[in-house]
Amino acid sequence: MGSFKSSVFILILHFLKGALSNSLIELNNNGYEGIIIAIDPSVPEDETLIQQIKDMVTQASPYLFEATGKRFYFKNVAILIPEKWNTKPDYVRPKLETFKNADVVVAEPNLPGNDDPYTEHMGKCGEKGERIYFTPDFLAGKKLAQYGPQGRVFVHEWSHLRWGVFDEYNNDQKFYLSNGKSKAVKCSADIVGKNVVNKCQGGSCVTKPCRPNKLTGLYEKECEFLPESEQTEKASIMFAQSINSVVEFCTEQNHNKEAPNLQNQRCNLRSTWEVIQDSEDFKKTTPMTTQPPEPTFSLLQIGQRIVCLVLDKSGSMLTGDRLNRLNQAGKLFLLQTVEQGSWVGMVTFDSAAHVQSELIQINDGTDRDKLIKSLPTVAAGGTSICSGLRSAFTVIRKKYSTDGSEIVLLTDGEDTTISGCFNEVKQSGAIIHTVALGPSAAKELEELSKMTGGLQTYASDQVQNNGLIDAFGALTSGNGAPSQRSIQLESKGSTFKNSQWMNGTVIVDSTVGNDTLFLVTWTTRSPQILLWDPSGKKQDGFLVDTKTKMSYLQIPGTAKVGVWKYSLQASSQTLTLTVTSRASSATLPPITVTSKINKDTGKFPSPMIVYANIRQGASPILRASVTALIESEDGNTVTLELLDNGAGADATKHDGIYSRYFTAYDTNGRYSVKVWALGGIDAARRSVIAQQSGALYIPAWIENGEIKWNPPRPEINKNDPQDKQVCFSRTTSGGSFVASDIPKAPIPDLFPPCQITDLKAKIQGGNLINLTWTAPGDDYDHGTAYKYIIRISTSILDLRDKFDDSLQVNTDDLIPQEANSEEVFVFEPENITFENGTDLFIAVQAVDKVDLKSEISNIAQVSLFIPPQLSTETPPPGDTSVPCPNININSTIPGIHILKIMWKWLGELQVSVGL
């Protein structure tokens, strides 16, 4: 028995790692296993695509192996094939692999011809990314000239995904001043090439050398650095892996620390290899002494969805009307959330398990009603979670393998024997989604979700927060087309006193409208429900279920686009409203909101980060109003406005990913996360993604002195605005997390201001320096900091490594503003030599009222450039200026003699002009 407990404990530790992502990747003896490459359901069937994926990974593995000093290679990869593709004998059913937890997605480009490979990366330096995106044309080798071999690009993107490094180029600022000279942003600096401008007009193009602006010293905006096709420099993969000689990452020795790129900005000037060396992967491996084997591949084809509900009906479910709330949430799941064609079964448990329904395929409303009637109505007895799970396995195996099946497990009770079935769960190949109801649900419950890649949620007894319905509403398929999934448009509730009204609106946008459901729940008696469509027509026909205390209306056909108005009236009870819908068309991607937190467990005083990713297909939605509601086990709620401003917790500005730090802990235990997103007049869809991490596009190569231009990137239609206005409303569950080590009230202030990551500097009128940044808060990105410390240096490394010893700028007049405001500060450097060609480096540190200090900001750079004063006057007769010495450059005078003559002449010149 002891050895079994020990093995279970090791299993739990194994699956607790990497909680930021749902990835199944494991590092085993230097080889990466469990990589999932998913082909998007919208990609037309093409068997050659599978071989192209295999070729890419096979090419990438030895390149990765050598680039990492023989440490890492790709061991095995699962290729996830869409359900609609023809079946083949070698395609098998997935286990835990789903489209939602894919590491690489192959999808059509959001803009025809825009085949940029990129990685979605929400986190900070050293934190894992979300997933890599490739297009079919890229994999087919149609973009070789622009990005290089696919295998090399895969290693570039893998470095973003696995080790959290950033790009060493900068598309927004391709050149910078150093010692008064314009230099290309590259790493290493030894990559050779030419700086040119290509100007095209009327079908003909002229290529010219770049010329510096006479006032700023910087090259013109159209200037491009074009690399030579033949190089000798080996670094760096995160600059341009497409260069043949590049086979290494930049190291501390050859890293270009001055270049204004994301790697320097996000990683404190550290090279990519330094960041990789700090990773957990690096720390637990040693270089191999033999060559690794080639990767192996498994072909998995998504099949029909198989779900079994495993529902607690123990005596504690009578507390706080939990059993009835389970029926309400279960009914929504069976009516609306679970997709047509799915197979669904049901098991209940108390001290033992009871099969309520064998697997039924949902083809119509009759099948759904049959399952709804199986929901439990009586609660009594103890809690045996493993009995319920084992019974569910049996129900599924009567018809299918448990591989890839899903179990929705809800419980409110404690169960000390739950670890007894961990091994069976792992071996089953089933995905377990857990719903913890109330404060006493088994503490080990979440381990089942973690070890199987399932969703973990928590719902409190605060009915007005609608947490249980939100949890079941989030249980859409991890596979299949987005057009099949249920989308939650609204979820809200209120507790009424006397006779009150709850009035509001729901936006049905053009991307949704099919299968739209309005659902109202109550706690004592049926309320008055009034609903009007966008034309003002009153909607009647709500079905009333007095037993379950809910009313609902299914809108026939496609709901009208526009603002729907509702009014609910009740007295002395709690009401909730939930509105769900599906995509209006299989060809128009719906606007979706996915929410998550950066980790499953949080220890005080480490903050959590809440993320919301808003997309229409691959296009980000900008300037939406996004709010998170975080609820603790005590029922206390905190509202957070999530931001896409590129500051604080938000990694990249205007990428459609909204985020914020959460520090308002009030108790140990579970916290639930819910997100509302609203798009109005200001919200817009961006056609082109604000790429934060991806392979460098090479506009041209220089071969034997001749410029060979690559096909240009696709142009956005000038008559089609890049940002298209969108109006929508969405709500979604962000899952749950568990907090620990929180002290008793009053909770001490141990939260410093967050790091400033967007510091920018520019010369303003002579020697003045203009600084701008986004204000941090007193506690990370909340509140107002107490003061700023600004320091400067002519040495970038001294400023980084000896910040406290660097020259401090007088900031007596700088009063910090509220978090997320724009700060502007202008100063003139004092007590430091600041003359033509001087590079000055600047960093900021925020301090709160209890003297907690933020991390040092990103380092900004200015280079003082004084334009040469060109004389326009004609020298007068008798000019006595010293003539240039007559030197025959073809003479055989040794070079050292020429230098002596030049120095002699310069000395004469100095005397003549009085220097």
What DSSP designation does 418 have? G
CA dihedral 628, 633, 634, 635 (to 10 degrees): 40
Of 97, 120, 130, 157, the active-site residue reads 157
> Can you tell me the distance from the alpha carbon of 199 to that of 709, in angstroms, rounded to the nearest whole number?
13
In this structure, what token pair is assigned to residue 443?
A: 């503490």
Cα separation values, 808 from 652, 762, 792, 841, 847, Å: 29, 18, 6, 12, 14
Q: In sequence order, which ranges of 757-835 are alpha helices (DSSP H)?
A: 796-801
> Can you tell me the distance from the alpha carbon of 640 to that of 782, in angstroms, rounded to the nearest whole number?
10
Burial 669-681 (b: 16+ CB within 10 A, else e): bbbbbbbbbebee
Under 8 Å CB-to-CB from 541, ≥6 apart: which residues? Answer: 553
Quick count: other Cβ atoms within 10 Å of Cβ 914? 5
What DSSP designation does 302 have? -
Q: How does strand 456-459 pair with strand 431-437?
A: parallel
Across the strands, what pairs with 344? 307, 360
3-state secondary structure 328-384: HHHHHHHHHHCCCCCEEEEEEECCCEEEEEEEEECCCHHHHHHHHCCCCCCCCCCCC
Q: In sequence order, which ranges of 405-562 are alpha helices (DSSP H)?
A: 422-428, 445-452, 467-473
> Can you tell me the distance from the alpha carbon of 738 to that of 675, in angstroms, rounded to the nearest whole number?
18
Under 8 Å CB-to-CB from 494, ≥6 apart: which residues? Answer: 464, 500, 502, 574, 575
Q: Are 117 and 695 in contact (CB under 8 A)?
A: yes
What DSSP designation does 694 have? B
> Can you tell me the distance from the alpha carbon of 356 to that of 374, in angstroms, rounded to the nearest whole number?
6
In this structure, what token pair is assigned to residue 263?
A: 């790697």
> Can you tell me the distance from the alpha carbon of 736 to that of 713, in angstroms, rounded to the nearest whole number?
42
Under 8 Å CB-to-CB from 855, ≥6 apart: which residues? Answer: 755, 845
Helix axes 2-16 and 445-452, enclosed angle (nearest 10)? 60
The residue type of 693 is S
Q: Which helix (H) or strand (E) holds 768?
A: strand 768-774
258 is catalytic: no
> Can you tell me the distance from the alpha carbon of 573 to that of 559, in angstroms, rounded to the nearest whole number?
30
Q: Which helix (H) or strand (E) holds 155?
A: helix 150-163
Helix (H, G, I), strand (E, B) or coil at 15: helix
Active-site annotation, residues = 157
